[in-house]
Amino acid sequence: MSQKALLLTAKQGEWALGTRAIPKPGPGRILIKIEAASLNPIDWKVKAYGMLIEDYPAVLGYGLAGTVAELGKGVTNFAIGDRVATSGIVGNSEYCSFQQYALGDARFTAKLPSNISFDEASSLGVSLDTPALGLFGPLNAKLTSPIDKPGAYKGQTMVILGGSATIAQFAIQLCRLAGYTNIITTASPAHDALLKSLGATHVIDRRLPTTEIIASIRSIEKGDIKVLYDAICDESTQAVGWGILAPGGHVAVSNYNIKNPGGETDTRTVECSYGSPHIPPHHEFGEKLWGAVHDWLANGTIVVRVDVVPGGLDGIVAGLDRLKAGKASGIKLVVRPQDTA
């Protein structure tokens, strides 16, 4: 059987609506009928820069929610018809969300509580994986996870640059669960109330000069800042991060092109987290993370804001253009693949 899919036809090529076979789930996998798929900056960047994908035509999209349509061998924790969410795999079209059906790895798939819509749940995926792995995973900042020890960082300060980005909103909520007393973020004042509702204690106007942002952070935290999260990774946020980071400190970033600006003797580090539970070093943490998602959503511990782009798969290109132009601040854009004409 075939399905509709939005295809990236070639490296740095064009988008085209087409068809492809519905995949069959192997051992440990499930087939998901996709009801909602989120749009993420990585989607337009893959097309623009020709990165990460080797085989074309390719399906992109790395956050999805829907219903279980088929079970692979050995899957016992899901049933056909379950409402679920998961994250896609970069470079493996069968697991990606810009289509009507996709595979999910049962280890990194969460059942959805009744209070969460498919639209909301689709915003998890790479947007949750990236900050969770960057801050609490085994390869980057390696902080104590709130899954293992909630409240471990009581009395301490976390700085999250670019608070209105969806990955930063999840980072704020995860750091709240981790117990940070001060969670300082930068954003437009328009997002002050939203970010404080998620757990930020201080929102500094991102439009201020770098020196003023640094001074504002220093007025709140006069001690060493050993870890910070940069969700934007442009020259301005890099300057702020490097301006406040203590010797031996670590900046977790979401952009592979960001390099350590210090010299060879600088003990501070900058490292991009690979925001996927699907690589072997991330399997154990990824399983814990997705195992916690149901309860976090059910009790309101993690909340999301979405904006549905009409037109099903046909709406993706316009949505990605909005993302690229910076016109989706503070919200996650999602589409409904089953609405495709």
User: CATH second-level architecture of 2-124+304-339?
Assistant: Alpha-Beta Complex (3.90)
pLDDT at 272: 83
Residue owning tokens 């998602």: 293
Residue 273, pLDDT > 90, answer: no
Spatial CA neighbour of 336 closest among 307, 299, 309: 309
Whole-number mean pLDDT of the chain? 96
pLDDT at 129: 97
How far CA 20 is from CA of 1, 5, 311, in Å, comes to 9, 7, 19
pLDDT at 148: 97
**Encoded tokens for 40:** 């993420």
Cβ-Cβ contacts under 8 Å for 327 (sequence gap 6 or more): none
Going across the sheet that includes 157-161, the strands are 202-205, 182-187, 157-161, 225-230, 245-253, 269-272
pLDDT at 87: 97
pLDDT (tens digit per residue) in 293-316: 999 999 999 999 999 999 999 999
Model pTM score? 0.95
Q: Is 303 exposed, middle or buried (0-12, 13-18, 19+ CB in 10 A)?
A: middle
Could you say which DSSP state residue 138 is in? T
pLDDT at 147: 98
Give the fold, CATH level 3, of 128-272: Rossmann fold (3.40.50)
Q: What are phi and psi of 301, to 5 degrees?
A: -65, -40
* Residue 213 contacts residue 204 (beta carbons within 8 Å): yes
Give the Cα separation of 63 and 36 in Å (integer): 8
pLDDT (tens digit per residue) in 227-250: 999 999 888 999 999 999 999 999
Residue 263, pLDDT > 80, answer: no
Cα(first)–Cα(last) distance of the chain, in Å? 18
CATH topology agreement for domains 2-124+304-339 and 128-272? no
pLDDT (tens digit per residue) in 84-114: 999 999 999 999 999 999 999 999 999 999 9
Sequence spans of domains, the chain? 2-124+304-339, 128-272
* Residue 125 contacts residue 85 (beta carbons within 8 Å): yes
pLDDT band (50, 70, 90) for residue 253: confident
pLDDT (tens digit per residue) in 136-175: 999 989 999 999 999 999 999 999 999 999 999 999 999 9
pLDDT band (50, 70, 90) for residue 266: confident
* Residue 275 contacts residue 254 (beta carbons within 8 Å): yes
pLDDT (tens digit per residue) in 67-77: 999 999 999 99
Residues 54-60, mean pLDDT to the nearest whole number: 97
**280 cis-preceded (ω within 30 degrees of 0):** no
Residue 265, pLDDT > 80, answer: no
For 221-286, strand residue ranges (E) read 225-230, 245-253, 269-272
Spatial CA neighbour of 121 closest among 74, 154, 84: 84
pLDDT at 161: 98
∠ CA 300-306-308, nearest 5°, is 140
Spatial CA neighbour of 281 closest among 147, 142, 171: 142
Give the Cα separation of 158 and 92 in Å (integer): 35
Q: How many CB atoms lie within 10 A of CB 244?
A: 21
Give the Cα separation of 115 and 173 in Å (integer): 19
pLDDT at 203: 99
